[in-house]
């Protein structure tokens, strides 16, 4: 059952022929930039030396306090990055302030520590926000609010802001960073921020459906996309139910997908996903604006395919994944750093990640022609097969009932945990070949290449904890309490909470305080750990 | 509590470490090997782990780590579980554990570590070896 549901290499033919596919070119493919966007969402522009196809080259980054991450951003931009992609440390991702007792040894060492409006201002100091695309793996709602505030402070018009924010409302508690939020609150943060950005930051992709979080380390490509579409469809339904015109927000929905090692299946998955989206938005949600039918796909290569043994091999894996993504026509990518399996990415690994993208893009000619695999009997057949499997799976899940209830009741968590165990088992029993781990291994004493990087750790930022504790104690509490009360009122009366979040940041309320108030509105304790109390 | 001769273990992750894949895989491995596994999941500090381990009278506590937090919590964890009667041994394993970490973690009172390269047999044997030292009838 599980095998049939996913796309398994063992089930594929040994070779493909014209009889393997039944393609109607206009109906199923179209030129790049044309409906149904199987071959890409934009018509190729004039080929420009060194620029490929307006491709965003970036590396996932962020460490320490905002000022250190800001230095990192400038360093990456100076070394050829054309966009930024920031991730918070674990407390930040959990909507937890750095001075929370549970956060003490996790501040700033696996991402940047962010908990207040001025942190966003410091994070983007000197960055040309009107020109550089800034992508955020930061808490839903707060990322967009923080960028809005930073732009305002640095004198950039919000209308010009580019970039994106990841919103994983349905699965955040199960596959990403659990923050002890009810799924309904995750949904509220997602839908309110999309509505807010549609009006105030219209160039910003306020809703990145992130199937990387859903899939890495667990489910296969069919469930990756099926679950992603289930989440995306629920968000779209809710926005339409509010009375929003689908064409107001749909042009700024994007996909961030995973890319593992099943090379052609990953390419077919991305082509199939663009087609599914185009047909779904036109036929089911009634979108009319051509931009609403064309979803930009970005990708992050799989951290779970990086191995802690023979880590030099991870550079090869990143290059192969990068080739797949260029062939699939993604608009932006990050390559998981080769040291991802054993540490927060080092500066050296970041540079190798950027260099890999540059070598593939600029030296190989791979980006010169759009969708070069279009028309391949194998790739078209695989695209059709994966499309059918994804749409069948979406229908199967949605037939079970309300998807938010399914999430609250642990239905999806069961899928993820079973898949995590299965994947681990496949590596142990050799079903899934992993070089250096279950085949062609070398003894540990000879596995020395690049290993010296592993002991070079990023220490927790205890200074940051002290700084935030001192800041908290020194604030004028009047505006903080007023802003939090206002946020509560907006939440309880059904208004959009985003202006309240921005105002709370301006008034020096912390993210932990704001989310605590929102938790209370949904019947949860202010601090699920019972360590801190709401300011009154 | 009904006396049992089966291996009884508590598996968990520490602090804000959100990576459960290793913890779930080891839980399945031990269950398949006949052990009783209590899975405490995420958001556990040394204090909450010690309370659960003592309440559940487990033979061994297993910590799966994909975060450097483990290096900072190791000493407190060893101290708290060392106060159980008899002391409850701890094994730490996970993708981030290097050879240097192994030395550091053991010096802080953790009873055993398993590196990311450890085969399944070594993981199971480590749990049984520690359990037998605490509960010889196993």
The 10s digit of each residue's pLDDT in A3-30 is 456 888 888 999 999 999 999 999 999 9
**B120·A428 Cβ contact <8 A:** yes
B132 vs B138: CA distance, rounded Å: 6
Nearest chain B Cα distance for residue A426, angstroms: 11
- Would you say the C-alpha torsion A299, A341, B69, B24 has a positive or negative sign? positive
> Is the four-CA dihedral A99, A103, A109, A115 of positive or negative sign?
negative
Could you say which of A102, A420, A444 has the minimum Cβ distance to residue B25?
A420
B85-91 mean pLDDT: 96
Give A411-455 pLDDT, tens digit per residue. Answer: 999 999 889 888 888 888 888 899 998 999 998 889 988 888 777
Length reported for chain B: 138
- Confidence band of A2 (pLDDT split at 50, 70, 90): very low
Beta-carbon contacts below 8 Å between A and B: 77
Question: Could you say which residues from 34 to 63 on chain B have a Cβ atom under 8 Å away from some Cβ of chain A?
Answer: 42-43, 45
CB B120 to CB A91 under 8 A?
Answer: no
Higher pLDDT, A514 or A413: A514
pLDDT at residue A258, as a whole number: 97
Contact B18 A176 (CB under 8 A): yes
pLDDT one-digit tens code per residue, A128-185:
999 899 999 999 899 999 999 999 999 999 999 999 999 889 998 988 788 899 999 9
pLDDT of residue A302: 93
According to the model, what pLDDT value does residue A133 have? 92
pLDDT digits (tens, 9 = 90+) for A207-234: 999 999 888 868 999 999 999 999 999 9
Q: What are phi and psi of A469, to 5 degrees?
A: -60, -40
Per the prediction, chain B carries an average pLDDT of 91
Query: pLDDT tens, A352-389?
Result: 998 999 999 889 999 889 999 999 999 999 999 999 99
User: Is the pLDDT reported for residue B138 higher than 70?
Assistant: no
Using the beta-carbon criterion (under 8 Å), do A94 and B72 form an inter-chain contact?
Answer: no
- B96 chain-A contacts, CB cut-off 8 A: 342-343
CB-based contact (8 Å) between B93 and chain A? no
CATH superfamily of A2-9+21-59+167-429: Methylmalonyl-CoA mutase (3.20.20.240)
Look at A178 and B18 and tell me if their CB atoms are within 8 Å: yes
- Where do the structural domains in chain A lie, given as residue ranges? 2-9+21-59+167-429, 475-521
Per-chain mean pLDDT for chain A: 92
- CA–CA min distance B24, chain A (Å): 6
Domains annotated for chain B, with CATH where assigned, are 8-133 (3.40.50.280)
The Cα-based distances of A417 to A30, A179, B61 in angstroms read 39, 18, 21
What size, in residues, is chain A?
536
- Nearest-by-Cβ selection for A424 from B16, B25, B42: B25
**pLDDT of A49 above 60:** no
pLDDT for res B118: 82
Q: Categorize the per-residue pLDDT at B21 as very low, low, confident or very high, splitting at 50, 70 and 90.
A: confident
Chain B residues with CB-CB distance to A417 below 8 A: 20, 24
Strand order in the sheet with B8-12: B36-41, B8-12, B60-64, B90-93, B112-114
Residue A394: half-sphere exposure toward Cβ, Cα within 13 Å = 21
The reply to whether B133 touches chain A by the CB within 8 Å rule is no
Element (H, E) at A240: helix A221-241
A278 burial via Cβ count (<10 Å: 0-12, 13-18, 19+): buried
Q: Are A294 and A335 in contact (CB under 8 A)?
A: no
pLDDT at position A386? 97
Contact between A528 and A180 (Cβ < 8 Å): yes
**ipTM score over 0.90, yes or no:** no
Q: Cβ contacts (< 8 Å) between B42 and chain A: which residues?
A: 178
Is A379:A267 a contact under the CB 8 Å cutoff? yes
Chain A contact present for B95, CB below 8 A? yes
- Name the token pair of A300: 């992050």
Do the Cβ atoms of A105 and B96 come within 8 Å? no
Residue A110, by phi and psi: left (phi above 0), alpha (psi -120 to 50) or beta?
A: alpha
Residue A108 forms contact with B (CB below 8 Å): no
The answer to whether A96 contacts chain B (CB < 8 Å) is: yes
């Amino acid at each position: 059952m599980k095998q049939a549901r996913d796309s398994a290499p063992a089930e594929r033919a040994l070779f493909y022929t014209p009889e393997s596919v039944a393609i109607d070119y206009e109906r199923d493919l179209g030129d790049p930039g044309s409906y149904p966007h199987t071959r890409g969402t934009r018509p190729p522009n004039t080929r420009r030396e060194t620029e490929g196809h307006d491709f965003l080259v970036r590396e996932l980054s962020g460490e320490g306090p905002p000022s250190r991450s800001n230095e990192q951003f400038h360093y990456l931009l100076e070394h050829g990055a054309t966009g930024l992609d920031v991730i918070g440390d674990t407390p930040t991702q959990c909507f937890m302030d750095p001075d929370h007792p549970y956060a003490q040894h996790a501040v700033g060492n696996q991402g940047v520590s962010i908990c207040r409006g001025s942190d966003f201002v410091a994070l983007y100091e000197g960055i040309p926000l009107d020109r550089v695309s800034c992508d955020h793996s930061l808490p839903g709602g707060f990322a967009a609010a923080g960028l809005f505030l930073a732009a305002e402070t640095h004198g950039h018009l919000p209308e010009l802001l580019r970039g994106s924010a990841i919103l994983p409302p349905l699965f955040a508690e199960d596959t990403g960073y659990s923050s002890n939020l009810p799924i309904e609150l995750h949904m509220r943060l997602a839908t309110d921020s999309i509505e807010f950005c549609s009006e105030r930051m219209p160039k910003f992709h306020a809703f990145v459906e992130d199937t990387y979080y859903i899939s890495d380390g667990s489910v296969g490509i069919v469930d990756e996309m099926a679950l992603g579409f289930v989440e995306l469809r629920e968000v779209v339904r809710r926005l339409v139910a509010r009375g929003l015109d689908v064409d107001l927000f749909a042009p700024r929905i994007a996909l961030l997908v995973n890319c593992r090692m099943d090379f052609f299946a990953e390419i077919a998955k991305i082509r199939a996903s663009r087609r599914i989206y185009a047909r779904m938005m036109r036929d089911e949600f009634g979108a009319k604006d051509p931009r609403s039918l064309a979803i930009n796909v970005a990708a992050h290569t799989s951290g779970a395919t990086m191995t802690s043994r023979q880590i030099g091999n991870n550079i090869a894996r990143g290059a192969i994944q990068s080739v797949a993504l260029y062939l699939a026509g993604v608009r932006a990518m990050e390559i998981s750093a080769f040291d991802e399996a054993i540490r927060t990415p080092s500066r050296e690994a970041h540079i190798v990640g950027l260099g890999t993208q540059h070598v593939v893009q600029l030296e190989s000619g791979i980006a010169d022609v759009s969708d070069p695999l279009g028309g391949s009997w194998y790739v078209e057949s695989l695209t059709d097969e994966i499309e059918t499997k994804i749409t069948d799976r979406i229908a199967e899940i949605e037939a079970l009932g309300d998807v938010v209830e399914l999430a609250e009741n642990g239905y999806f968590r069961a899928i993820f945990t079973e898949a995590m165990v299965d994947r681990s088992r496949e590596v142990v029993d050799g079903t899934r070949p992993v070089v250096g781990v279950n085949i062609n291994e070398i003894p540990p004493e000879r596995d020395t290449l690049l290993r010296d990087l592993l002991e070079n750790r990023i220490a927790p930022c205890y200074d940051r904890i002290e700084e935030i504790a001192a800041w908290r104690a020194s604030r004028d509490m009047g505006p903080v309490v007023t802003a939090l009360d206002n946020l509560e009122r907006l939440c309880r009366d059904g208004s959009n909470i985003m202006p309240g979040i921005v105002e709370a940041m301006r008034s020096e309320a912390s993210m932990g305080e704001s989310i605590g108030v929102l938790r209370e509105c949904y019947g949860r304790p202010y601090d699920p750990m019972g360590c801190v109390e709401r300011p009154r | 509590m009904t006396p049992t001769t089966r291996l009884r273990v508590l598996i968990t992750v520490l602090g804000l470490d959100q990576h459960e894949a290793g913890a779930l895989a080891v839980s399945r491995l031990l269950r398949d090997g006949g052990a009783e596994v209590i899975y405490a999941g995420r958001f556990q500090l040394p204090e909450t782990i010690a309370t659960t381990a003592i309440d559940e009278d487990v033979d061994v506590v297993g910590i799966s780590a994909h975060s450097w937090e483990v290096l900072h919590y190791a000493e407190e964890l060893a101290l708290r579980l060392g106060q159980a009667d008899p002391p409850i041994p701890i094994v730490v394993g996970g993708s981030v554990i290097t050879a240097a970490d192994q030395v550091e973690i053991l010096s802080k009172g953790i009873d055993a570590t398993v590196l990311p390269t450890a085969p399944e047999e070594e993981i199971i044997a480590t749990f049984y070896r520690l359990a037998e030292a605490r509960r010889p009838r196993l």
